[in-house]
Structure 1
Amino acid sequence: MLSTTRKPWRKGAALVLALTLGAALAGCGSSKAAEEKTPAGGENTAATAPADKTLTVYTAGPEGLANKLIKQFEEQSGIKVETFQGTTGKILARMEAEKSNPVADVVILASLPSAQGLKKEGMTLPYPEAKNADKLNKDWSDAEGNYFSTSASALGIAYNTKLVTAPPASWSDLTKPEFKDQINIPDPSLSGSALDFITGYLSDKGEGGWSLFEQYKANGVVMAGANQEALDPVITGAKSMVVGAVDYMTYKAKAKGEPIDIVYPKEGTVISPRPAAILKSTKHEENAKAFIDYLLSDSAQKLVSDAALLPGRTDVKAENRANLDGIPLLKTDWNWMGEQGAAVTDKFTKLFK
């Protein structure tokens, strides 16, 4: 098992896409470097590593997948990897705190606008020649190679199958009186995918889209931490549904036998890509490029599919979940979503607090 994962912070940090976070960190866990491994057989996707065979990756999970990816990369490359795992908001807060002495070489986020923000701030190192980059979904990745969305999730309505026998078909169904005080929504200041859902919905519906969230508030919808914290009460039956639920978490819980399922509303939803980027401040450029090459490889994309995520490559299909062609989508403007992210987060959290 990978021994480099840091424990999550006890206190959340705001997700600010322009990376102007000023909040102090509330403490973090400890970490130790992974044992250096000798290159093993199998698919050789990584470039030859220089003498300094180390790399630091900050990743927004999921933890099980991240551990498997890191382990396989270490075995194939001989590069040892130290990781920090947390939500997108916590990763951006950590990067802000470390800006005078950057630590991370590569970041994997759960929000495309966050990666767009890194590019805009000049913090990414372009790698346009990355192997298999031409096979990625072009809507999710940067044409100049500043970030690569190697996986994605779709956002929907997760529901407890014991409590909800007729699942909702529309986002507006959740405003019905029978669902009063039974619904959670993740906090967009802690969850990049939750912010993607909210800004994506507003991108499609315009300013009038706020009326849906106002009706949610009036119907007792509760903002309940990050994604897993919002989902857990639905699994246990304390709540009935999560709006803006991350689908791979629901699929994984369902596969374990939990009474949970997910529906994608008929008017469409938002795909939340998970971009990886090399930071310009890296001191291990070749190792970082080797890691990006690995994330786009056949073996890494198979691990993504096995984790119930949408693969980033268009030529790889998931076998245990709905694929992209089976999910109705809203018309989203990612540039608008990135520009409005901080303002939307502020307005939404004030509405629900």
Structure 2
Amino acid sequence: MWKKTLALSLTSWMLASVAAQAEPGGTITLYTSQPNAQVTAALDGFAKVHPKVKVEIFRSGTTEIMTKLQAETTAGNAKADVVLLADEVSMSQLKKAGMLLPYAEAKVDGLPKALIDADKTFFGTRLITTGLIYNTNLVKTPPSSWAEMSKPEIAAKTILPSPLYSGAAAMNVGTLVQQPEFGWKYYEALADNKAVAANGNGAVMEAVARGEKAYGIIIDYMAFSAKAKGSPVDFVFPKEGVTVMSQPVAILKSSQNQEAAKAFVDWQLSEPAQKMAVSQGYYPAVSSIEQPKGYPPLGSVKLMQVDLNILLEKDEANKRQFSEHFGG
């Protein structure tokens, strides 16, 4: 009997030991452009599943994050383990530079193939569209299209985010200038008619909510979230279509704690994380999860077609040309 008891004890000890070894721990550093409150909520959710992993954060606009990553990598002092950015173009730049770790075993069940990088170096975590916001106290007739935003009487009251700071803005600018009916002549008209550029979507949100500007170009969840909290704003999906991003997550090849980094990626793609994204006002990446209350089904929203290869190729040139029109 004692031999059987000893064997069972040894088996239990070995299983516990293996489980302990399998459970990731230590510290990882996350570089992200996600708003602070949302990052905090995400880390709280992750900690409930992986309490042994400590996550440190650097949060800024996408452009600053990219600059920091490049500088650290060049100096041989990369500090980030995981990056969570707004757009696929920025992630594609990191992939092209050989900075991302392929993660073939990522838990992508239910994730559309379009949101999975072909080499599994990055994965979309939610869907974000860019459209129009307006102040309901200042605007009697809501705008319905991108085209009318360039009219003198509207452009003069419009604020837009700068691609020099925001990855979402870079995606939107790059997409609109690919459309034959817009191109750079559209942004020239906005600038000539006195539209102004702010750093990021948060600055656009504040300016329109306070009534400093009547109109703005912005990502959807910020407008819907502000409206739900009582701000005098509303959001419009322009009839020509909207740009869409997937806020991809990726692991840096230089990560010193790849197991914990992989756990973070898997959690971002999990059902609890997807439901949290919905509660924060995002369209979920997994189609089986219902979109936020009050949002139209994504299938009913017209999405603009865009060539991501051209976006990647023209990204720096687009930023320079935008700066020529709006400064920065």
Q: TM (normalized to structure 2)?
A: 0.89
Amino acid across the alignment from 2:88: L
Residues 168 and 146 from structure 1, CA distance in 2 versus in 1: closer, same or farther, beyond 3 angstroms? same
1:94 aligns with one of 59, 68, 93:
68
Q: In structure 2, give the amino acid aligned to 1:85.
A: R
Q: Tell me the number of residue pairs that the alignment of Structure 1 and Structure 2 aligns.
A: 305
Task: Spell out, residue by residue over 1:208-261, the C-alpha distance to the aligned partner (whole angstroms, 9 max, x if none).
Answer: 611111111111110111111122111000100112x11111111101100001
Residues 56, 104 of structure 1: 8 Å contact kept: yes
The equivalent residue for 2:287 is 314
Q: Greater shift after overlay, 106-115 or 139-148?
A: 139-148
Query: Does structure 2 retain, via aligned residues, the 8 Å contact 1:104–1:282?
Result: yes
The letter of the residue matching 2:193 is N
Q: Name the amino acid aligned to 1:156.
A: G
- Find the counterpart in structure 2 of residue 12 from structure 1: none
Q: Does 1:278 align with 2:251?
A: yes
Q: 1:299, 1:107 → 2: CA distance? A: 20
Over the aligned positions, Cα root-mean-square deviation in angstroms equals: 1.8
- Preserved contact between residue 33 and residue 60 of structure 2 (Cα < 8 Å): yes
The offset of 1:322, in angstroms, is 3.1
Pick one of 223, 226, 230 that aligns with 1:257.
230
Cα offset, 1:271, TM superposition: 0.5
Tell me which amino acid in the other structure corresponds to 1:216.
Answer: L
Q: Is the 8 A contact 1:56 1:83 kept in 2?
A: yes
User: Larger radius of gyration, structure 1 or 2?
Assistant: 2
| Partner Cα separation in structure 2 for residue 279 and residue 166 of structure 1 | 47
Which structure 1 residue ranges, 5 or more long, are not aligned?
1-45
Preserved CA contact (<8 Å) 1:201 1:269 = no
Q: Does 1:342 align with 2:316?
A: yes
Do the aligned partners of 2:24 and 2:260 also contact (CA within 8 Å) in 1? Answer: no
Letter in 2 for 1:261: D
Q: Percent identity, aligned pairs only?
A: 37
2:83 to 95, 107, 113: 107
Query: In the TM superposition, what whole-angstrom CA distance separates every residue of 1:157-203 from its partner, at most 9, and x where no partner exists?
Result: 10001111211111111122322420001110100001111111122
> 2 CA distance for matches of 1:63 and 1:136?
25
1:123 aligns with 2:96: no
Q: Deviations over 1:102-156 (max 9, x none)?
A: 111000001110001111111000112111x142232233022100110121000
Partner residue, 1:164: 139
* Contact 2:157–2:215 (CA under 8 A) maintained in structure 1: yes
- Out of 232, 242, 247, the residue aligned to residue 269 of structure 1 is 242
Query: Which residue identity does 1:339 align to in structure 2?
Result: E
CA contact under 8 A between 1:49 and 1:287: conserved in structure 2?
Answer: no
Deviation per CA, 1:80-111: give whole Å up to 9, x if none: 11111111112112212322211110000011
The 1:76/1:51 distance shift into structure 2, 3 A limit, reads closer
Q: Deviations over 1:260-312 (max 9, x none)?
A: 01101111110022010000000101111111111111101110010001112
1:185 to 160, 176, 179: 160
Is 1:223 aligned to residue 197 of structure 2?
yes
Paired with 1:332 and 1:93, the residues of 2 have a C-alpha distance of: 25
Structure in which a larger fraction of residues adopt helix: 2
* Mapped partners of 1:138, 1:310: distance in 2: 16
Aligned to 2:124: 149
1:162 partner SS = coil
Q: Which SS does the other structure have where 1:271 is aligned?
A: strand
Tell me the residue number matched to 1:68. Answer: 41
What is the alpha-carbon distance in structure 1 between the residues aligned to residue 155 and residue 57 of structure 2?
41
- Corresponding position of 1:326: 300
How far off is 1:50 after superposition? 5.6
Q: Secondary structure at the match of 1:155?
A: strand
* Residue number in structure 1 paired with 2:10: none
Contact in 1 for aligned 2:29/2:79 (Cα 8 Å): yes
